Structure 1
Amino acid sequence: MHPVCDHPGWGPTNTRAVRTPAGGTTATAEETGITLGPSEAAVDVYDPATLTHRTPAALRRVLAGHGPAERLRNPDLWDAIATAIIRQVIRADQARLMYQRFTAAIGEPINHVGERLHLFPTPNVVLSVDDTTFTRLGMAFKRRPLRAAAEAFGDLGVKWASLPPADLAAEIQSVPRIGPWTAGAAVADYTGDFSFYPYGDMAVRKYARQAAPSLALPDTEADFATRWRGYAGTPGELSALTVLTLALGGHRGKARPPV
């Protein structure tokens, strides 16, 4: 069972601070799976054996060869929304750097086996950060959307957390600078259901093409998304197909080096 460490909170030693309703905790990803401290967080399993004949055999063979994957479902809706905002229109490695730099500077610290990890700053902390600090931390471009989301979350976060996934995706798009891509990425991270993920995304297209070049997949996001939906008969299949394909990008936990 291989953990998928796509969330930018995962650090170089495959550890991550996680905010849950009960408080802050930590997670560790190793080749055998994800280990959590005391928490209410869930770990979802995505198994290529659940993919049916609708998924082309060439792609299914590659995904089956990598085996099932585990992914930590983000228990913090605020973090999921903020993470999706940070990921807007930049590469995954840039988003990881920005998230970790911002979190280390102003997030709440947690000690874990000799490491000092940090939770992503709360909405109130984000609203207290001045323009100069955003700029110093390389987050000037993200300042307005993060502030808008923090203000909205302060008013509506409790309501949002109670909504079914489809309603949640619609509701958070009322926030300025949150569109379908950001909403879908946030909901997928928070619920573990990647049928909501923007699966026409460049990363899915890239790894699908690398895995099965014989499929001649469409180039445009919209056409690819339509084809991709046809590769799954149910939302569960679509979710598994998307996560397992994203995992081909190397975001799988490895053996944890000594601290």
Structure 2
Amino acid sequence: MRLLTADNETSWLVEAHGQELTWTTLSGDDPTPATEVFRLSLSARSQATVLDASLAELGDVARLRNPSLWDALATAIVRQVIRAGQARKLYREFCDRFGPTVARSDETDIRAFPSPEHALTLSDGDFTESGMAFKRRPLRHAAEAFMARAEQWTGLAPSVLVKELQTIPGVGPWSAGAAVADWSNDWTLYPYGDLAVRTWARHADPGTAWPADDSTFAAHWRRVTGDQLGAYTLLTLAFGCRQVGAV
């Protein structure tokens, strides 16, 4: 179950039941965000590889794009230079402390990430006590920039938006690419040379001598994935999530 809030303050509660999603609109009247399905087209490959076989075992992978560019950007900032598991923990604790709340009938609450306006009201101590002292400055810079330029940003092509987000102090190519991929579901924009893709490509195809550094791996990844770059990147990350049981 997750509370999703769009940048225009439309919000939904979404629950997963197997492969089915149940939506409850809490505020606003926007349509529910689209769920997109990713799959490999192996018929376009001259010869299937071990990587192909491992990713094909996932079947169709449905991914719900993030309806909030602000949340996608904040999530990418939280994920900077720390392990994915630790980033998830910090994100959830920050939501629990400062995010908008929906109370459920079973007496549990569910929360979203605080809005940029709310993030700017938090003290240095609030960030420190929630383990986010290192993220304080980039999150504040991002909140200020988002409040000033959100309308302009959401009208840009995703590839242009990646460059625009890098004008925010503390937001580099990795954060910008990860944020826009999350928001747009265009996974050709994800920084696919990063450690996560490299790690899970090796797990999915351990017999291949994958390049170790990010730039060499990225160039090799573009060659081997061809015109299915986005699908391979998303499915490799999904493969990793399945291995570690991440949600």
Q: What amino acid does structure 1 have at the position aligned with 2:16?
A: A
Q: What amino acid does structure 2 have at the position aligned with 1:77?
A: L
Aligned residues: 239
In structure 2, distance between residues paired with 1:33 and 1:194: 23
In structure 1, distance between residues paired with 2:159 and 2:240: 27
Q: What amino acid does structure 2 have at the position aligned with 1:158?
A: E
Cα distance change on mapping 1:184 and 1:56 into 2, 3 Å = farther
Unaligned residue ranges in structure 2 (runs of 5+) = 26-30
Using the TM superposition, give the Cα deviation of residue 68 of structure 1 relative to its aligned residue in structure 2, in angstroms.
1.2
Q: What amino acid does structure 2 have at the position aligned with 1:218?
A: P
In structure 2, distance between residues paired with 1:50 and 1:33: 26
Contact 2:42-2:52 at 8 Å conserved across structures: no
Unaligned residue ranges in structure 1 (runs of 5+) = 1-14
Cα distance change on mapping 1:164 and 1:75 into 2, 3 Å = same
Contact 2:138-2:171 at 8 Å conserved across structures: yes
- Which runs of structure 2 are paired with 1:134-213 in the superposition (5 Å)? 134-213=127-206
Number of the residue aligned with 2:56 = 64
Number of the residue aligned with 1:44 = 36
| 1:250 match: secondary structure | helix
Number of the residue aligned with 1:98 = 90
Contact 1:33-1:70 at 8 Å conserved across structures: no
Using the TM superposition, give the Cα deviation of residue 32 of structure 1 relative to its aligned residue in structure 2, in angstroms.
1.7
Number of the residue aligned with 2:239 = 248
In structure 1, distance between residues paired with 2:135 and 2:16: 29
Q: What RMSD in Å do the two structures reach over aligned CA positions?
A: 2.1
Within the candidate set 21, 29, 33, 2:16 is matched to 29
Number of the residue aligned with 2:109 = 116
CA deviations 1:65-105 (Å, max 9, x no partner) are 12111111001000000000000000111110110001111
Q: Percent identity?
A: 42
CA deviations 1:128-152 (Å, max 9, x no partner) are 0000111111110000000000000
Q: What TM-score results when the alignment is normalised by the length of structure 2? A: 0.90
- Which runs of structure 2 are paired with 1:212-251 in the superposition (5 Å)? 212-234=205-227, 237-251=228-242
CA deviations 1:185-241 (Å, max 9, x no partner) are 00000000111001111111111101111221100000101111112332xx11110
In structure 2, distance between residues paired with 1:162 and 1:187: 13
In structure 2, distance between residues paired with 1:55 and 1:123: 48
Contact 1:98-1:139 at 8 Å conserved across structures: yes
